[in-house]
Amino acid sequence: MGIWITGYKGMLGYDLVKILNNDYELILTDKDTTDITNLEEIKEIVKENEIDLIINVAAYTNVDGSESNKQIAYEVNAIGAKNLAIIAKEHDIKLIYISSDYVFNGNKSNPYIENDKTDPINYYGETKLQGEKFIQETMDKYFIIRTQWLYGINNGNFVKTMLKLAENNNEINVVNDQYGSPTFTKDLAIAISQLIKSDKYGLYHVTNSGECSWFEFAKLIFEIANIKIKLNSIVTSQYPTPAKRPKYSVLSNEKWLNEGFKPLRLFKDGLNEYMDLELTKS
Ligand SMILES: NC(=O)c1ccc[n+]([C@@H]2O[C@H](COP(=O)([O-])OP(=O)(O)OC[C@H]3O[C@@H](n4cnc5c(N)ncnc54)[C@H](OP(=O)(O)O)[C@@H]3O)[C@@H](O)[C@H]2O)c1
Domain-wise residue ranges, the chain: 2-157+182-210+249-265
Ligand 1, residue 124: give the atom nearest the CA: 47
In the reported structure, the alpha carbon of residue 170 is separated from the centroid of ligand 1 by a whole-number distance in angstroms of 32
- The residues carrying an active-site annotation are 124
Ligand 1 pocket residue status of 58, Cβ below 6 Å: yes
The per-residue DSSP string of 185-221 comes to: HHHHHHHHHHHHT----EEEE---B--EEHHHHHHHH
How buried is 133 (Cβ within 10 angstroms: 0-12 exposed, 13-18 middle, 19+ buried)? middle
In the reported structure, the alpha carbon of residue 60 is separated from the centroid of ligand 1 by a whole-number distance in angstroms of 6
In the reported structure, the alpha carbon of residue 252 is separated from the centroid of ligand 1 by a whole-number distance in angstroms of 23
In the reported structure, the alpha carbon of residue 126 is separated from the centroid of ligand 1 by a whole-number distance in angstroms of 16
Ligand 1 pocket residue status of 182, Cβ below 6 Å: no
Residue nearest ligand 1's atom 29 by CA: 31
Q: What is the pLDDT of residue 131?
A: 98
Ligand 1 pocket residue status of 28, Cβ below 6 Å: no
Q: What is the pLDDT of residue 155?
A: 86
Residue 271 has pLDDT above 70, yes or no: yes
Ligand 1 pocket residue status of 76, Cβ below 6 Å: yes
Torsion of CA 259, 265, 271, 275, to 10 degrees: -110
Tell me the C-alpha to C-alpha distance, in Å, between residue 98 and each of 15, 131, 147, 245.
Answer: 14, 9, 7, 18
- Mean of pLDDT values over 110-136: 98
Q: How confident is the model at residue 281 (pLDDT cuts 50, 70, 90)?
A: confident
Chain length of the chain: 282
Task: Please tell me the pTM assigned to this model.
Answer: 0.97
Residue 18 has pLDDT above 90, yes or no: yes
Let me know if domain 2-157+182-210+249-265 sits in CATH 3.40.50.720. Answer: yes
Question: From CA 95, how far away is CA 52, in angstroms rounded?
Answer: 9
Ligand 1 pocket residue status of 148, Cβ below 6 Å: yes
199-257 confidence digits (pLDDT tens): 999 999 999 999 999 999 999 999 999 999 999 999 999 999 999 999 999 999 999 99
- Mean of pLDDT values over 247-268: 98
Q: What is the pLDDT of residue 280?
A: 84
Q: How confident is the model at residue 279 (pLDDT cuts 50, 70, 90)?
A: confident
DSSP state of 127: H
DSSP state of 113: P
47-91 confidence digits (pLDDT tens): 999 999 999 999 999 999 999 999 999 999 999 999 999 999 999
